[in-house]
Amino acid sequence: MRKIALSLAVFGVAAYLLSCEKKTQQPEEDLYMFTSFHEPADEGLRFLYSENGIDWDSVPGTWLKPELGMNIMRDPSIVMGPDSTYHLVWTIAWKGDTGFGYSSSKDLVNWTPQRRIPAMDSIPSTQNVWAPELFYDDEKDQFMIVYASCVVDAGYDVGIEEEKNNHRLYYLTTKDFETFSEPKIFYEPGFSCIDAVIVKRAPKDYVMVLKDNTRPNRNIKVAFAEDAEGPYSEPSEAFTEMLTEGPSVAKVGDDYYIYYDVYKKYIYGAHKTKDFIHFTDVTDSISVPNGHKHGTIFRAPRSVVENLIESSKQK
């Protein structure tokens, strides 16, 4: 009996210690990641990372030397899917190509072979495909890729734009990056627009941040919708100065930080907001490495980021 009692006591202590260990275990911390490229965009994918979403450092080196279109990789956009796969799309040409690039990875280090997605091949008068932006719609369990194209025969108001520089936002949907929907118009605000990013705040509460690409403006605005696919509201007034583009959004505490490329000054700017109605310029309080060009912001586990940094040292 004493042996049984002793065994039970030991078992009880072990169970208690295991319980304490489980209680003290914390889920792995996510870091902020920012996709990037350097001009002239022929070297490949770059990354920045941040502990707080405000102060950014470069991950050394490049991945995925571009092999598609004009052999460039601009506007890289990454989203992690529900299967923990990182999906990447990017611009492969300034003009003369109506597709975009695609690759995927489990660790941000090893990538699948680059594939051209024929986004607008079915629309003959399309001039280009710019800045494909990924969004995972968890309500419909599908990915959306929103991009800008100039379609000469579409009948949109040209205004003061050249006919071949009159962009609108289009999109595709896919569940597996093998089969895609037909391209559809995503947003027609009555003026040339590019560089759209979608933010989900809550069910039936979506924000689109986009660039007004018309000559008098070339600045950044927002619009709202109850569904990721729209319809979206009329655009807001601009909250950035002229010659800004490539918005990316990071949720930092209770604030949303909207980063953007101030390309006339060769710097990165940012505004923060809680409601996408009132904006505060916080450009002086952020830190972004020189030469960083616009991509998108996502989150990744610390272990993935540390492995990426370590792998960059071995290249």
Sign of CA dihedral 188, 191, 197, 202: negative
Q: Does residue 94 sit within a domain?
A: yes
Q: Is residue 4 part of a domain?
A: no
- Count of the separate structural domains present in the chain: 1
Residue 2, domain member (yes or no): no
Task: Name the token pair of 302.
Answer: 């610390």
Contact of 310 with 60, CB cutoff 8 Å: no
Looking up tokens 């409601």 gives: 275
Q: What is d(CA 37, CA 159) in angstroms, rounded to the nearest whole number?
A: 32
CA distance 182 to 145: 12
pLDDT in tens, the chain (315 residues): 444 344 434 344 444 444 444 444 567 799 999 999 999 999 999 999 999 999 999 999 999 999 999 999 999 999 999 999 999 999 999 999 999 999 999 999 999 999 999 999 999 999 999 999 999 999 999 999 999 999 998 989 887 788 888 999 999 999 999 999 999 999 999 999 999 999 999 999 999 999 999 988 999 999 999 999 999 999 999 999 999 999 999 999 999 999 999 999 999 999 999 999 999 999 999 999 999 999 999 999 999 999 999 999 887
Its pTM surpasses 0.75: yes
Report the CATH number that the domain containing residue 294 is assigned in CATH: 2.115.10.20
Q: Note whether residue 8 is domain-resident.
A: no
Q: 20 in a domain, yes or no?
A: no
Q: Which domain holds residue 103?
A: 31-313
Helix (H) or strand (E) holding 105: strand 100-105
74 domain-assigned: yes
- Structure-token match 């569904």, residue found: 227
Domain assignment present for 45: yes
The verdict on residue 18 lying in a domain is no
Beta bridge partners of 34: 48, 297
